[in-house]
Amino acid sequence: ESLTSIDLTPFTRAPITNLGRTFYGCKKLASLDLSPLTLSNNVDFDDFITGCSSLTYIDLAPFANIELGSLSSFFNGCSSLTSIDLTPFAGKPITDVSSMFHGCSSLTTIDLTPFTGAPITNLGSTFYNCSSLTSIDLTPFTGAPITNLGSTFYNCSSLTSIDLTPFTGAPITNLGST
């Protein structure tokens, strides 16, 4: 819980296969440069930065070179992030972004363009408690086979309007607490 910084350059050679819970609960970690890492296509990163409540910057460059299916809870509890560059996730066959930004209460806007064309089915709780989020363009989700929108915008108290047109025709079965 007291970790404030870390240099990941010693891990540049071997492809990392497991990042699960690596920085879980590192409440004082403010910046994370992942660019030195080489990641395996099957890397497990469940909860790897969950609860990093002081994190204001993260370099996601290594994720551009691997396949990804789920980003569930990726930034969960990163309450100091005001912006996130999602470009490394572009073109990936991502299906699950549930709780991805859950508790990112300082996030004011997010560019979801990298998710354009992704076969996302689960958006449940994606923006749950993103209380500073003022606008959101959901156009990148147009045509996605989304089935779950439950609690997606729960406690997004700064949003004044949401255009749900991109979800037209989606086989949505869960709208609970949206």
Q: What is the pLDDT of residues 99-127, one digit of tens each?
A: 999 999 999 999 999 999 999 999 999 99
Q: What confidence category does residue 144 fall into, taking pLDDT thresholds of 50, 70 and 90?
A: very high
- Can you tell me the mean pLDDT for 2-20? 90
Q: What is the pLDDT of residues 46-56, one digit of tens each?
A: 889 999 999 99
Residue 159: exposure state from Cβ atoms within 10 A (0-12, 13-18, ≥19): middle
CA 105/CA 91 separation, integer angstroms: 27
